Structure 1
């Protein structure tokens, strides 16, 4: 547990020395991937997995398309990561367009494949702005899904949290109440939606503490190299993109290498400020790319061991 004294000392160090000098690498990381659509893209993802595996992630997760549209690919990707990369892998699962019987079938197949961790989400209907409609025989909320999964098998369960409030929530307070219901239903931790200013997370953390929520909440980190793409993501989940971000990437559309350098600089400083505020767990939305996440972890002091697959050889 990081104390106030430790945070003050860390803040002083961040001001008095080079930002990334002497960091002990005492962070824990996790990475999110999405299931590839084709075999060549699967091999590209596998290169990403093997690049990030030596950083010893606490877990990696694989997303699940709206209405189970990537069900088989999600299952296959998670199973391969467990079997070949020997990493703890979590499978996403949503309530969208699925009955309780269908969710039971998916969950049982995950358990049989060695999956012990599920990221349980209500999910969205797939089209922007379309309100969530529960399946007539399905779960009406993520909290109900968590309780249902716990009745199927003793899964470790992660859920989502929204530092800037879920777009469907009636209020920030209602959103925090919903998070508490998910945790009370049996979830172990929450993973936050991405955000771009450290104070956003610190304020959210204070509100959770005031609400009596003590479960870990991992900040979701989205390294940005394409502002237009990020703006689409942010519009769907209610995340605010600061005006200064547009200015930093202006003029770099045709300079991908420079854009990557700027992206790494911006995200690394952002994570360093989170670190100064006591954060030691970081969840990276990789978009199936390794370089930015790897570089940021390196700057934060995390160094690789031999790939797990080599150790097992």
Structure 2
């Protein structure tokens, strides 16, 4: 199924992200996670490009196939390109097609320390253009409400987003953020650049201080004073911090849904407990919004 059609059928699309464990010995954990997530009825599940982007150790295709062919949930397979040749990408695309995977999230990926620039793919838009030429897949992109760390300016970031749309991306998923104001400002600004494809808000429930520190260092997301106070208050109470993180993310999501967001993409961190708690809290409002026309008619 082409997941771009979901945005024509529903007012709010709700999806999850999972990732392949880095250690081979822990691969069974992802299957246990999927067993628990399947009952939450997400519209699709994205599978990150595992093992640091290694072509030889990547499990994205395998897990995407299981998501679709065992659990009957549409997968969105991540694909990074910064350290790949066209031959590498073509092989992965062929493997995904064989497994019936129809949707790809095209990303540049993190630049490795030993990176040597190759001429095939410098930006995710290059990858989108390459995939589009095959016409085998629906292509999804990423966007950055607070701006990408490597962009020279916010304007450049929005121009890059417009390029992704022009090259074939049918919708985009946002980088995580903790203050909805950044997302709303981003929506206002992207309209001026002619970006009109659906945008899902990426939300990550923060359940421990180690996690939040790593996130900030990787993507530069700003932490609101409100959440800093929560972390300080429950720093030595892991269970309370977990519950507070779930409550904060739930509050973010309800606000976004209430203002007409196209969709919510929940970064589960392979934690089905967190996904379940949030899904239970928001399922009724999503159901009501998605079925309001049916009730009126």
Question: TM-score with structure 1 length normalisation?
Answer: 0.81
Cα offset, 1:250, TM superposition: 2.2
Aligned pairs for 1:93-112 (under 5 A) are 93-112=79-98
Q: 2:240 is matched with which residue?
A: 258
Query: What do residues 245-302 of structure 1 show as CA deviations (whole Å, max 9, x unaligned)?
Result: 2221225344332222111111111111112221251001111111222212221134
Partner residue of 2:201 out of 219, 234, 253: 219
Within 1, Cα distance between the matches of 2:104 and 2:145?
A: 21
Indicate how the Cα distance of structure 1 residues 94 and 122 shifts in structure 2: closer, same or farther if over 3 A, else same: same
Cα offset, 1:77, TM superposition: 1.3
Within 1, Cα distance between the matches of 2:275 and 2:285?
A: 13
- Preserved CA contact (<8 Å) 1:220 1:285: yes
Q: 1:50 is matched with which residue?
A: 35
Cα offset, 1:98, TM superposition: 0.9
Partner residue of 2:72 out of 86, 94, 100: 86
RMSD, aligned α-carbons = 2.4
Runs of at least 5 residues in structure 2 that lack an aligned partner in the other structure: 1-9, 287-297
Aligned pairs for 1:123-202 (under 5 A) are 123-127=109-113, 134-136=117-119, 138-202=120-184
Q: 1:278 is matched with which residue?
A: 260
Regions of 4+ moved over 4 Å? none
Question: TM-score with structure 2 length normalisation?
Answer: 0.85
Partner residue of 2:223 out of 241, 245, 258: 241
Partner residue of 2:16 out of 31, 34, 48: 31
Q: Helix, strand or coil for the counterpart of 2:27?
A: helix
**Equivalenced residues, count:** 277
- Preserved CA contact (<8 Å) 1:107 1:152: no
Indicate how the Cα distance of structure 1 residues 234 and 133 shifts in structure 2: closer, same or farther if over 3 A, else same: farther
Q: Helix, strand or coil for the counterpart of 1:301?
A: helix
Indicate how the Cα distance of structure 1 residues 44 and 253 shifts in structure 2: closer, same or farther if over 3 A, else same: farther
Query: Relative contact order: is structure 1 or structure 2 higher (C-alpha 8 Å, sep ≥ 6)?
Result: 1
- Preserved CA contact (<8 Å) 1:67 1:96: no
Indicate how the Cα distance of structure 1 residues 193 and 133 shifts in structure 2: closer, same or farther if over 3 A, else same: farther
Indicate how the Cα distance of structure 1 residues 133 and 293 shifts in structure 2: closer, same or farther if over 3 A, else same: farther
- Preserved CA contact (<8 Å) 1:26 1:302: no
Runs of at least 5 residues in structure 1 that lack an aligned partner in the other structure: 1-24, 305-313
